[in-house]
Chains A and B, each alone.
Chain A
Amino acid sequence: MPSDVMTRVVMEGQGTFVRVRRPAYWLYVGLVAFGLLYIGDRFSGAFDHLAGALWVPIVLNGLLAVLFVWILGRMDLFEREPAAVRAAALLWGALVATSVAIIANNAMVSLITKLYGVNFATKWGAALAGPINEEWLKTLGVVCLVLIVREHFQRSMDGLIYGAFVGLGFQVVENLTYAINNAVSNPNSDLAGSVSVTLLRILIAGPWSHPVYSGVAGLGIAFAATQTGRKWWVRYGVAALCFLAAWALHFLWNSPLPAWLPKGLAFFAVYGKGALILVFFFILYGISARREWHWFTEIMHDEPESVVTPAELESMRTLRTRRHARKKAAKDYGLYGKRIVTRLQRAQVVLGEAKARCERADGDLASAPDVLVARANIVGIREELNAPGKKRIGLKTRKQEGEDVGGS
């Protein structure tokens, strides 16, 4: 029987993340179910006995997660990734990566202890097992998202954001696992054990932990997936280098401080390691954000000045330049002007997203409804800004009549 006979073609609408026709989607669902059962089993037993001691770690880690979600949302300058896909990334890190990592890490530390002895395992077990198993598993989360929703990966920044969300999920569940273990092993009190380790992990490792490592690896995966115009070895080479970099950052953080280091300097050495990790991450982020801005200027370059002026385009480059434009608007027009410019900047980002979506679908930019609506919104906001009744609602005298609001 020819294979074409077995082929069916269907037309179906696709939501943001659910792709019932994609095998990777069902793999994702199965792995999340596995993780839920595995982690649920470990946590439910602990909750029976330690519930009173775990509320504080849960609240603190919840706050940590909210803070990171907010930061990652701000870092995503030109295209807010869909909430469902971000949540899927978070779940992979929280359930899939952690559950398999626990099995792999335990076996690997046991093996290292057998082969090289207790002293070596104590010193280097976490530095080896953590990066090798955890970075691999978290990076596969981004690969899985590429297989399910490739259309949500347009540029390297998307991989960085999704990778960071995978890392965030992993970090929160790992922190809770530590809280449970230390509640049990503390010789005096469950609460003292869980709270002390939670504070330690949030205050010392919080800013430069899993979201940073996985963001770096995710950036590489997205580069390989999106830079299809480049040679294959460049794409996969960059992905491999980013993975190695994530591994190295994790190894650096987990590796023990040298024995010769005076105890008084340990604090500075730990934060020094963290600072190095953050600097590396922000260099990569800066490069990625610059590429994002170039993409934005390209997609918006044919828009008339009633939609976006060259000065406004320049002001969209970074969070700082956007803030500067808003401050300038506040200075020139008061709080009302600041609000209007904030809306204008958001509307311009929405227009960029709509145009990109339309281009991907080979649509007509002149007639695509969401592009037209986004454009009309911008024109409406601009008219509001220039409306003659502005003084009635506290707008200061316009100092530079005719100057664009984001102008330099």
Chain B
Amino acid sequence: MIEGAVRLNRFGLERGRFWSAVVLALAVFAPALLWTQWDRSVDGEEAVPAGTAITLEASSNPGAAGKGRVWFTVPGDGWVTETGANRQSAVTLVHSPVVVRTSAIGGVDDILVLFERQARDLRMGNRVLFATGTRDYTTPTGLSGYWGDLTGERYSGALIVVGLGEVAAVIVAVAPLGRLEDQLADIANILATLEVSDAE
């Protein structure tokens, strides 16, 4: 233990050391403030013309060997994408009021397990959604998998997981309660062009 004389200011703190702490506090939060404000100032919405082909690279988790691609065509006009949230393996498309996030996942052993895990993630998410009425589903392009209806407090939607070999496409469509039915044709049009390839 060291004994020392400490000269205090009016707040009972050591004199001459206040501003260095203030500068440090600003420095700590500077990166978070800088990047969040800059990110917000850049418009992240980009119109996606009808007929645009979108290709996603299947994400490869450590230990998951399967790689491949998922692709589909944007149906009709009025779609926009949130560019900041997009990844090589996932894209978010918005056709107000419906939001469709499509992901490509590699290394899948069992489509049903993947469906159940995706349903669990939606239950754990900020916007709690429950997958009900799970049933077999085959896309017009011949990809087989499962369809579940999503129900939440203020939102409803659909969870569709289809795949080929070790690669799967996961489509989560969400809209405010009672608004999805009007947009089902949009989702059907996406599914009508959805293709999966398990070749690298």
Contacts and interface: CB of A to CB of B under 8 A. Distances in A.
Interface of A: 6-15, 21-24, 26-27, 31, 45, 49, 96, 100-101, 103-104, 107-108, 110-111, 113-115, 117-119, 121-122, 132-133, 136-137, 140, 143-144, 147, 151, 182, 184-189, 192-193, 196-197, 200, 361
A119 B113 contact: no
Given A133-B31, A185-B61, A188-B113, 20 more contacts: A7-B15, A9-B8, A14-B2, A21-B8, A22-B21, A31-B28, A111-B42, A113-B83, A114-B83, A136-B27, A136-B31, A137-B28, A140-B27, A147-B17, A184-B124, A186-B61, A186-B63, A187-B113, A188-B110, A200-B62
A187 B63 CA distance: 11
B15 to A, nearest CB: 7
A193 B60 CA distance: 11
Contacts of B117: 186-188
B199 interface: no
B29 A100 contact: yes
Contacts of A189: 113
A350 B174 CA distance: 66
Nearest to B42: A114
Contacts of A133: 31, 35
B1 A15 contact: yes
B12 interface: yes
B interface secondary structure, majority? mixed
A405 B60 CA distance: 59
Contacts of A107: 32, 35-36, 38-39
Contacts, number: 172
Contacts of A188: 64, 107-110, 113-114, 117
A24 B31 CA distance: 19
Contacts of B3: 11-14
Interface stretch (B71-79, B85-93, B180-188): B85-93
B61 A143 contact: no
Q: Which 8 pairs from chain A and chain B are nearest by CB? A: A196-B63, A110-B84, A23-B21, A107-B35, A104-B31, A196-B62, A108-B35, A107-B36
Nearest to B110: A188
Nearest to A110: B84
14 contacts: A7-B15, A14-B1, A22-B21, A24-B20, A24-B24, A100-B29, A103-B36, A108-B31, A110-B39, A113-B84, A121-B87, A136-B31, A187-B117, A193-B61
